Chain A
Amino acid sequence: MARKILLVDDEAGFTQLLKMNLEKSGDFEVTIENDSTKAIATARSFQPDVVLLDVVMPGMDGGDVQAQFQSDSILNRVPVIMLTALVDSAELSAGAVAQSGSSIVLPKPVDLSLLLRVIDEATGAA
């Protein structure tokens, strides 16, 4: 069965291309949410296996969204992969994976093969 991925990022072009790449690379069903304030509602109806979450977004930032997921009895079990272009995360050199609380942090621009590997690990498909 296809693994379900939810992309939450305000950059519409980025999410569109990421979805195309993911769907080309594996058996994924990808849903995009560009409005972070609607992320929780979308997630409840979509029931993703993994969430890719941008950090800096208008409305609600990635941290806020993640907190909402944490307090949801079903969604709190869904692994979250944070993507960030923040320069503060410069220590996070390309290819590095960091752990922040319960979520994994990847730097943007993201290396696709690395992302696929992390998704595999997070969904226990590796």
Chain B
Amino acid sequence: MEPLTLVESVLDNLPVAVFAKDANDDFRFVLWNKKQEQITTVKASKAVGRDDYDLFSEESADYFRSVDKAVLKRGKLLEVPEEIIEGKDGQDIHLRTVKIPVIEEETGRRLVVGISEDITEQVQSRAKLESLNKNLLETNQELQETQLQLIQAEKLESIGRLAAGVAHEVKNPLALLLLGVDYLSGGIDPADPNVETILTQMREAVDRADRIVRGLVDFSSQRALTREPVQLHAVIDEVLLLVKHELTRSNTKVSVSIPADLPHVFLDLSKFEQVVINLVINAVHAMSESKSPRLEIMARAEKLSDVIKNQGARKYEVFRSGDNVVTLELIDNGCGIDSGDASRLFDPFFTTKATGVGTGLGLSVARKIVQLHGGELHVSDRPDKKGAIAKLILPTKVDTGKVALTSNFPK
């Protein structure tokens, strides 16, 4: 074993590279430890007594020299978070370097001492992580697009099922229009008091047919999620128009109670209608055996307490106690939810209905849509076991006035 001074042996066993240059001797190296040998693949015996221009490319040497001078000028430590030197096979070696100006006690020489840590691996794994993260973002983006496609597919399916009912609702105003035309085509007697009634009725019929058809067209439009401040009442009215036939045929009584001063909610109208349509149709199906089917639709502004009432000790998924929200409840008096099914209601393709009646996508898609709105959807048995209750919790903005102003909602 070669005898070394304590300082020499410490220096050579450090996991970081250490070197020193003499500023009074054209920045020639006076110190070059083992780690520095490994990183640069230049032996100390070759390096000491030479300068950066002897050992590195001119470009690199220029850079090192300028940093060295800056360190001396500042008279303070300088950290270079990342610098790159060329390794043996032309690979980049990334270093984190600290340069310190030192005046040697014994000799009075002005030295620049450098300590470099090889951070190549860290940099590489960081790059790897970044590319992984990029992939993840892309995958996530794709997933979101797929979700939107799924939502649209489910919507098309419900449009298909609603179409016959909607057509029926349009035919009624058409029937009225034809009667009006028949009456008036016989010649108009200005003294006939019926004429005014007929014209009024005809105008209303056109409005009604137009509303229904427009509602269907709006509903079927495929757009990315676009949220606007919406009055919940407007959503419910639109939905009830689209499902009117289903409600009439099933003899379902609907009562809506929504306070007029309910805060706006930020919704994608068409996607949210899809949610409510699903919930209404689910209720209608569940009440097919009920003597007098009744659907209550209730909304209110609420400050959340800890626990969803009637749901045991379940905590909210995205909300916290104290949050201001708008809740929307659809309460039916149907068959209720079989306790064995409760945990599976939201599973895609879980259905208790015959093929052609249900595909089991309704609730899973509805929940997805509600989650995209930053809300929650729960379906459970009524506490009195007389049916089921679907509860939506939606975030509100405290300052609704501001919301309405900052958003340019298309009308």
Contact = CB atoms under 8 A, between A and B. Distances in A.
B245 interface: yes
A109 B177 contact: yes
B319 to A, nearest CB: 38
B80 interface: no
A31 B127 CA distance: 84
Contacts of B174: 108-109
A17 B179 contact: yes
Contacts of B172: 11, 14, 85, 108
Interface residues of A, number: 25
A86 B249 CA distance: 11
A112 B182 contact: yes
A16 B183 CA distance: 12
B164 A59 contact: no
A124 interface: no
Contact of A14 (B167, B175, B182, B247): B175
Interface in A1-42: 10-11, 13-14, 16-18, 20-21, 24
A57 interface: yes
Contacts of A126: none
A57 B248 contact: yes
Contacts of A56: 168, 245, 248-249
A59 B179 contact: no
B205 interface: yes
B108 interface: no
Nearest to B253: A58
Interface in B173-216: 174-180, 182-183, 186, 194, 197-198, 201, 204-205
A21 B182 contact: yes
Contacts of B177: 109
B274 to A, nearest CB: 22
A50 B251 CA distance: 26
Interface of A: 10-11, 13-14, 16-18, 20-21, 24, 56-59, 61, 83, 85-88, 108-112
11 contacts: A13-B176, A14-B176, A17-B179, A17-B180, A17-B201, A18-B179, A20-B183, A56-B249, A57-B248, A88-B164, A112-B178
> Lowest 7 A-B CB distances belong to which pairs?
A85-B171, A109-B175, A17-B179, A109-B178, A112-B182, A108-B175, A13-B201
